[in-house]
Chains A and B, each alone.
Chain A
Amino acid sequence: GAVVSQHPSWVICKSGTSVKIECRSLDFQATTMFWYRQFPKQSLMLMATSNEGSKATYEQGVEKDKFLINHASLTLSTLTVTSAHPEDSSFYICSAPDRGSMSSPQHFGDGTRLSIL
């Protein structure tokens, strides 16, 4: 079945570092990619929606200059956490709907656990 590959799976880095997370659709074209954040024992919260070739749409309260999203191709979307601080430590996960439509199945990456020291 369709797969979304997310890398890296785990990152530990110093405060002030920028971290890039990649989500790649392996056998389908991901015209839309959703980026989520999950704190321990909480549900997923949508951060932003990226669409291939256009600017990402950010949810209220999410700093677009802090969380840079690029969706330059139909198979790759990236999230860069710029100048990361300990409060950015979280689990980040992406998903893409099959065939670009919300009425089609969603495929999730395996997530990236980010720890900022």
Chain B
Amino acid sequence: KNEVEQSPQNLTAQEGEFITINCSYSVGISALHWLQQHPGGGIVSLFMLSSGKKKHGRLIATINIQEKHSSLHITASHPRDSAVYICAVITDKLIFGTGTRLQVFP
């Protein structure tokens, strides 16, 4: 069993829909990253959080340390949001989830 599990693995949405991606982990962490990987491979860190909730534009990330669970929400999704979203937990190194492939259609 992976230490970091994401769901769903694949997600298809119509433009404008509200998207939720979930991440559960089984190890003790100091914080968690939500990353976005575009088709070319480059990775951008969207959020790093250790408690509560963070918001940046249409993106919202939450974490519940007690339940070892985090969610990434995208409001009013857009085709340019199409990418792989990866949850990575911070121990003494980064441990990555398997990613969620999101496709948003116009």
Contact = CB atoms under 8 A, between A and B. Distances in A.
Contacts of A91: 41
Contacts, number: 52
B27 interface: no
Interface in B24-61: 30-31, 33, 35, 40-45, 48
Q: Is the interface of B mostly helix, strand, loop or mixed?
A: strand
A95 interface: yes
B97 A43 contact: yes
Interface size class of A (residues with CB under 8 A): 20 to 34
B90 A108 contact: no
A70 B30 CA distance: 28
A31 B70 CA distance: 29
Contacts of B7: none
B93 A49 contact: yes
Contacts of A49: 93
